[in-house]
Structure 1
Amino acid sequence: MKIEFAPFSVPLERRLQTASVLQWVFSFLGLAQCCITIFIALLFTRFWLISALYALWVAIDWETPSRGGRRSHWMRNLVVWRYMKDYFPITLVKTAELDSTKNYIFGFHPHGILVAGAFLNFCTEATGFSKTFPGLTPHLMMLSIWFRVPFLRDYLMSGGLIPSDKETASYILRKPGGGNVLTIAVGGAREALDARPGAFTLMLKNRKGFIRLAIEHGTPLVPVFSFGENELFDQVENPRGSWLRWTQERLQKVMWISLPLFHARGVFQYSFGLLPYRRPIYTVVGRAIKVEKKHNPSEEEVDELHEKYVEELSKLFEEHKLKYNVPEDKHLSFI
């Protein structure tokens, strides 16, 4: 394989963009392991009190992630996120006004490999969420297991990440006065196994928990499609029925996380590595779907709203796909 090396004359701005994305990829792939290692290692040094006091703090602070977390304005506005945004670049697109006196559920599609669009748009201010949607506070849901990792839990909460369980979701949606956005990557980790350039397959047919949640709280649903999300990485071929896909799906059920074998470019060369390609992402936020509140909705009511949501999501995709370089003959498929 011929290796294409990066030129020596790369401007400092682009180098800083690459460095910002490198730390983000590391945070996904290795930060949890490092946090656990540091926490345990400190116990066997003269600094053992740090881990001991932190363990006490976690015990006292255990419920905070499920109570909306503890976001940090400073963390969300770090310059590193602006460099990361410019690397791709990533753009947040508003198609309709949202009432800041209401709470909302954003259904984010597609999941992609590392959910880059959701992270930059809803966990940082790099794309200007607060200016685009004044009065709204975004919360992005993430697997609950990561909030049990020492040190990492506080880092995640600082950006507005919260555990992906019903108790936490309900707490956010019950907040009086409105102004809260609960963002859910509906396809979840399993959808990442279908994330590759040119793919528009969404795991949505049997994903109805967020629909039921919306009805129980009378919360408007907003479909969000992130054009370019699947273009960032290549993935080893894993068609359904193959031994690789079978293994990945079994591991996902056991570990709660998917293990897509992805690759793209490196730091000093463009031929292989784990850094995403420099390809633009346009995260388009659709119109709100009105939802009537009902404490215990029937299966028929859930199915009816689910069908309407799929219809609105498809309409959003079709209305904007040509603007963002999606061929006219490409359509969403649902599994």
Structure 2
Amino acid sequence: MKIDFAPANIPLKRRLQTAAVLKWVFCFLAMAPCCILLFIYLLFTRFWLVSVLYATWWFIDRDTPSHGGRKVSLLCHMPLWNYMRDYFPIQLVKTADLDPRQNYVFGFHPHGILVAGAFTNFCTQATGFSKLFPGLESYLLMLPLWFRAPFFRDYIMCAGLIPSDKDSASYLLRKEGGGNAVVIAVGGALEALDAHPGTHSVLLASKKGFIKLAMEHGAHLVPVYSFGENEVFDQVANPRGTWLRWVQDRLQSIMGVSLPLFHARGIFQYSFGLMPYRKPITTVVGKPIKVEKNEKPSAEDLDALHELYMDKLTQLFEEHKGKYGIPEDAHLDLL
């Protein structure tokens, strides 16, 4: 295979963009295992007290992830994230004002491979979330598994990540006076297995948990579609019904995390690697759907709001697809 190497005279700004994304990819794929190994390794060295003290802190601090985490504004405003934004680039688009006196459930679609759009837009200030939606604080839900990794749990909480369970989301949505936006990648890790370039499939038809959550707390629903999310990585073909997809589905059901066989480019060459392609991602935040509080919604109430949400998401996709390079004959596939 011929390797297409990057030219030697690349501007410093682009090198810094690549470095920022490399750091993000490492954190997403390898930082948690490295932190676990470090914690265990220290126990067998003269620095064993570090792990013991951290374990004590971990026990004392065990409820923090489900109680809003520990978001640090300084980390979210770091210039590092501006370089990551410009690498693709990533843009956040507002279609309507959101009342900061309300709480919101943002339904983010599609998940993509590494959720690049959701992280950059809602865990950093690189795309100006707080300026577009003044008075709102965003929190992105992440698999609870990652909050069991020592050291790593503290890092991701600083960025506004919280576990993707009902208790964690409910804690924020119960806030009197509003001001919280809980961002849920509705399709979850399983949807990553369908993240192929050129596809517009979202797992939504049977996903009603976030609808019920919004109704129980009277939080308004906001559909969000991230155009280009599926374009930044290639993935080995895994159609439903193949042995590869069967294995991936089984592993996902057992471990809770999906294992898409993805690839893109490298750091110093463009032929292979785990660095995403430089392709634009535009995340469009739709108009809010007003939700009345109903602590015990009936199945009919859930179905009606779920149907309305799917209609609004489809409408959002259709209204904006032409602006972001999606062919007119392409339509959103609700699986």
TM range, smaller chain: over 0.9
1:53-92 alignment, distance < 5 Å: 53-92=53-92
Q: CA deviation at 1:208?
A: 0.3
1:233 maps to which residue? 233
Give the unaligned 5+ runs of structure 1: none
2:275 maps to which residue? 275
Percent identical pairs in the alignment equals 67
Do structure 1's residue 181 and structure 2's residue 174 form an aligned pair?
A: no
Q: CA deviation at 1:282?
A: 0.4
1:90-101 alignment, distance < 5 Å: 90-101=90-101
Structure-2 separation of matches of 1:300 and 1:285: 27
Query: Residues 288-321 of structure 1, C-alpha deviation per residue, up to 9 Å, x if partnerless?
Result: 0011111111111101000000000000000000
Structure-1 separation of matches of 2:106 and 2:121: 12
Runs of 4+ that moved beyond 2 A? none
2:203 maps to which residue? 203
2:31 maps to which residue? 31
Give the unaligned 5+ runs of structure 2: none
Query: Residues 61-96 of structure 1, C-alpha deviation per residue, up to 9 Å, x if partnerless?
Result: 100000000011111111111110000000000000
Structure-2 separation of matches of 1:293 and 1:36: 41
Structure-1 separation of matches of 2:17 and 2:24: 11
Q: 3-state DSSP class of the match of 2:169?
A: helix
1:26-175 alignment, distance < 5 Å: 26-175=26-175
Which one-letter code corresponds to 2:212 in the other structure?
R
Structure-1 separation of matches of 2:152 and 2:166: 22
Query: Residues 155-199 of structure 1, C-alpha deviation per residue, up to 9 Å, x if partnerless?
Result: 010000000000111111001110000000000001000001100
Query: Residues 108-149 of structure 1, C-alpha deviation per residue, up to 9 Å, x if partnerless?
Result: 000000000000001111111111110000000000111111
What's the TM-score once normalised by structure 2's chain length? 0.99
1:193 maps to which residue? 193
Which one-letter code corresponds to 1:204 in the other structure?
L
CA RMSD of aligned residues (A): 0.6
Structure-1 separation of matches of 2:73 and 2:168: 21
Structure-1 separation of matches of 2:291 and 2:176: 17
Structure-2 separation of matches of 1:135 and 1:293: 22
Which one-letter code corresponds to 1:285 in the other structure?
V
Structure-2 separation of matches of 1:38 and 1:191: 31
